[in-house]
Each structure stands twice: as C-alpha cells, then as structure tokens.
Amino acid sequence: MYTQIYILRFPKDTSDKPFIYQLVKEYDIEFNILKADILLQREGVMIIELKGSSKNNVKAGLDFLKGLGVQTERLAARIRRDDSQCFQCGACTGICPVGALYIKRPEMEVIFDAEKCTGCSLCVPICPVRAMEVSLDKDWVLPEETVMK
C-alpha cells in the first residue's frame, strides 16, 4: 500500500463537489480526513491521508483533483525519535502501518527507518515515554512535482 498525507486547497466553485466520493469509486483510494475547513461558496482547505494499492492509484486521483482546480501539496511530516528517551519497548512497532519502525533480530533493537515513514504519527501517542515526536513545519510541505516523480 502507498500512503501519503496531502494538503488540498480547493476553489469556492468546487466546495460542493463530491470529489472524495470519486477518489474512492473511480480511483480505489482509501482516505482519512485529518483536518478540514470547508464552507459552501468559499475556498476550502483539507488535510487528508490517501492510501492506494499503488503509487499510480494515488497519482491518478491527484491528477483528477488538479483537473478540478484543486491545489495539492504533499505534507511531509517529520517524525523523530529521541534515542535518549527510547528504552526499546517496541510498542511503536505494532502500530506502524508501513514498517518504518521494526524490531531488528536477534539484537531485539527497535529500528526507525525515516525513509519509509509517511508521517502518519500513530507512533507518537503510543510511545509510553514520548520518545517519538512529530514536526509539521512549513519547511516540510513539499511541492507535488518533487514527490510523484
């Protein structure tokens, strides 16, 4: 599965269109709306997690949105682990949907692979010592062109 988080900015003339329905039906994309500010006849903003069986599903869905005039940006959340806090309990490994957190055997060491991390932040509240943290700085919002190549 390919999972990424995006910021959608849509013009006021698309605020009443069922584009999320189309993403599910036509492009076989699962979604999780993380935050939304949508009012009829006004510009809207939505932070949404999109999950497709492949990168191509998500890219096709994003192309559909762009055709409607929706601006899309990948939200690249940065997840960090404070190694001085982490005591290697492994609680985070069971919740990570993409395998960015896993147990290295036979050492039984908890490994964090930042390259695999999608920034979903599920690991943050599950960590008993709060060794995992998320940063959503504006510097980490990437233009779509740098992501889907």
Domain boundary residue among 48, 75, 102? 75
Q: Do 46 and 23 belong to one domain?
A: yes
Q: Do 84 and 109 belong to one domain?
A: yes
pLDDT in tens, 65-74: 999 999 998 8
> Cα–Cα distance between 149 and 139 in angstroms, integer?
20
User: What domain count does the chain have?
Assistant: 2
Contacts of 112 (CB under 8 A, 6+ apart): 79, 81, 100, 101
Q: Do 65 and 103 belong to one domain?
A: no
Give me the sign of the Cα torsion angle 99, 36, 32, 94: positive
pLDDT in tens, 89-141: 999 999 988 889 999 999 999 999 887 887 778 899 999 999 998 775 544 44
Nearest to 87 by CA among 121, 135, 134, 130: 130
CATH of the domain at 60: 3.30.70.260
Nearest to 130 by CA among 89, 102, 97, 70: 89
Domain boundary residue among 58, 75, 92? 75
Q: Do 65 and 119 belong to one domain?
A: no
Whether pTM exceeds 0.75:
no
Domain boundary residue among 75, 96, 121? 75
Per the structure, the complete domain to which residue 52 belongs is given by: 2-75
CATH of the domain at 102: 3.30.70.20
Residue 37 falls inside a structural domain: yes
